[in-house]
Amino acid sequence: MESAKVEVNVARLTKELEQLAQFSETDPPAVTRILFTQPDLKARAFLKGLFAAAGLSIRDDPAGNIFARWPGSDSALPAVGTGSHTDAIPFSGRYDGTVGVLGALEAVRALQATGWRLRRSIEIVMFTSEEPTRFGLGCVGSRLMSRSLPAARAAALKDSSGATFEEVRRAAGCSGELESVPLPVGHYFAFVEMHIEQGPLLEREAIPIGAVSAIAAPAALRVRLEGESGHAGGVLMPDRKDTLCAAAEIVLAVERAANESGRADSVATTGVCKVHPGAVNAIPGRVLLEIDIRDTQLEPRDRIVAQVRQAIAQSADRRGIRAEVELLNADPPAEAGREVVSAIQAACRRLETPCKLMVSRAYHDALFMARICPMGMIFIPCKDGISHRPDEYSSPDAIAKGVRVLALALAELAGS
Ligand code: GLV
Ligand code: MN
Ligand code: MN
């Protein structure tokens, strides 16, 4: 197979990324596309149109994961999977996840145009709810596929309005039972996800491709604080049970725990703080916090989780308020499969493209795909390492390089 034959139509891909970015509930350049909202449903229809135009056979599962398959010459063999997500957190950019879905489509179209006949099928996946925005849990689709999340627990997840995942997916038109989402053993021979790096290393070192060796271990806590609301003028200071003051102590304890871990790989963030009743002249009687804690290793990550739990208990005790802590997820890290990393590195060598072996500090659906098949990830640089912001940017040239590497890696894994 001659690598020169793999031609990426980057103008087409850039246009499709731009079209996809229009499906948003915030004005450009910000993108907000939350699971099963109107923009998400429109984005899904748009994608299916593109998959169909490429002659791929499309399947939805009951969780809303979308599969688009290019059959290989031996379609009974386990397929090679690729893909990512198209949901977007509030006020984010247009490249997170989307590059791995539309880029996978462009890779397949480039492979189709070579005239090569690959042995294994290639299956593109658009995963449901990689982002935890709506249901507090990320990677819902890939967790279900890989039996990492029981169907009953997924069905019962609630959004902030109290609607369950089960209700919301049905309303979005997803039929069938969640119990049927797990993929049969051996469905995939390998899985490759292309993604923007979401960090600064590739750009800083002027290396166009990252081959991911492992994905860091994420955990998240939801904390409900219940104290006493009351009149901001009438209630004297010694009589207060102010939950926002407790939350402030907790937020700083989260930061301190990561700072004092002695590890550059430890990170901890309180990204959600909802205050009730949220009036300037009322004492905050209820607060909801969501806390994200990660490390490349499990043990230091869990140590920070334990320290944060202790800080919550101490603050609540001292202030006489109630604290309920829910562990939303605490996932172990995942290692990439050696054969997938080798396929990515071989593709880079053939294209004479420098490649850096690196860890993913963000999580991805590949973290869960690793539980059912060897996985690998291709990172491309993004400007200043910025992500989860409207000014997120990857150049067409950077994306095109990633797609060529993806196409060749898929071809190698699929065999001829
Ligand atoms: C994925 O979006 C993550 O938060 O790592
Ligand atoms: Mn993201
Ligand atoms: Mn992502």
**DSSP run (H or E) holding 207:** none
pLDDT digits (tens, 9 = 90+) for 214-239: 999 999 999 999 999 999 999 999 99
Closest atom of ligand 1 to CA, residue 131: 2
The answer to whether the CB of 292 falls within 8 A of the CB of 133 is no
Task: Collapse the DSSP code of 342 into the 3-class scheme (helix H, G, I; strand E, B; otherwise coil) and give the result.
Answer: helix
Taken as a whole, the chain contains a residue count of: 416
Give distance in angstroms: CA of 283 to centre of ligand 1.
33
Q: Which residues are bridge partners to 275 per DSSP?
A: 287
pLDDT digits (tens, 9 = 90+) for 301-348: 999 999 999 999 999 999 999 999 999 999 999 999 999 999 999 999
Q: How far is 37 from 161, CA to CA, in rounded Å?
A: 13
Q: pLDDT averaged over the chain? A: 98
Say if residue 76's pLDDT is above 80: yes
Closest atom of ligand 1 to CA, residue 96: 2
pLDDT digits (tens, 9 = 90+) for 81-108: 999 999 999 999 999 999 999 999 999 9
Q: How far is 309 from 85, CA to CA, in rounded Å?
A: 31
Of all protein residues, the one whose alpha carbon is nearest to atom 5 of ligand 1 is: 362
Residue 83 pLDDT: 98
- When pLDDT is averaged across residues 43-50 and rounded to a whole number, the result is 98
Percent of the chain scoring above 70 in pLDDT: 100
pLDDT digits (tens, 9 = 90+) for 185-203: 899 999 999 999 999 999 9
- When pLDDT is averaged across residues 383-400 and rounded to a whole number, the result is 98
Ligand nearest to the CA of 290: 1
pLDDT digits (tens, 9 = 90+) for 16-33: 999 999 999 999 999 999
Protein residues with CB under 6 Å of any ligand 1 atom:
131, 138, 362-363
Give distance in angstroms: CA of 399 to centre of ligand 3.
15
Q: How far is CA 160 from the centre of its chain?
A: 20
Residue 4 pLDDT: 80
Say if residue 1's pLDDT is above 80: no
Give distance in angstroms: CA of 98 to centre of ligand 3.
8
Say if residue 205's pLDDT is above 90: yes
- Amino acid, res. 264: A
Residue 5 pLDDT: 87
Would you place residue 367 in the very low, low, confident or very high pLDDT band (cuts 50, 70, 90)?
very high
Give distance in angstroms: CA of 314 to centre of ligand 3.
35
Q: How far is 264 from 258, CA to CA, in rounded Å?
A: 9
Q: Which of 198, 272, 294 gets mutated to test ligand 1 (max ligand atoms within 8 A of its CB)?
A: 198
Say if residue 410's pLDDT is above 90: yes
Task: List the one residue out of 76, 181, 189 whose CA is nearest residue 129.
Answer: 181
Residue 171 pLDDT: 98
Q: How far is 237 from 332, CA to CA, in rounded Å?
A: 44
For residue 178, the tally of other CB atoms under 10 A from its CB is 22
pTM (2 d.p.)? 0.96
The answer to whether the CB of 44 falls within 8 A of the CB of 149 is no
Q: Which of 127, 365, 388 gets mutated to test ligand 1 (max ligand atoms within 8 A of its CB)?
A: 388
As given in the structure block, the two tokens for residue 360 are: 């993913």
Residue 226 pLDDT: 98
Say if residue 50's pLDDT is above 80: yes
Closest atom of ligand 1 to CA, residue 294: 5
Scored b (16 or more CB within 10 A) or e, 48-68 reads: bebbeeeebeeebbbbbbbbb
Residue 37 pLDDT: 98
Ligand nearest to the CA of 195: 3
Neighbours of ion ligand 3 (CB under 5 A): 96-97
The answer to whether the CB of 214 falls within 8 A of the CB of 296 is yes
Percent of the chain scoring above 90 in pLDDT: 98
As given in the structure block, the two tokens for residue 50 are: 């593109």
Q: Is the peptide bond before 29 cis (omega within 30 degrees of 0)?
A: yes
- Amino acid, res. 22: Q
Would you place residue 120 in the very low, low, confident or very high pLDDT band (cuts 50, 70, 90)?
very high
Task: Collapse the DSSP code of 291 into the 3-class scheme (helix H, G, I; strand E, B; otherwise coil) and give the result.
Answer: strand
Q: How far is 169 from 134, CA to CA, in rounded Å?
A: 12
As given in the structure block, the two tokens for residue 309 are: 């739990």
Residue 324 pLDDT: 98
Would you place residue 73 in the very low, low, confident or very high pLDDT band (cuts 50, 70, 90)?
very high
The answer to whether the CB of 43 falls within 8 A of the CB of 20 is yes
Would you place residue 397 in the very low, low, confident or very high pLDDT band (cuts 50, 70, 90)?
very high
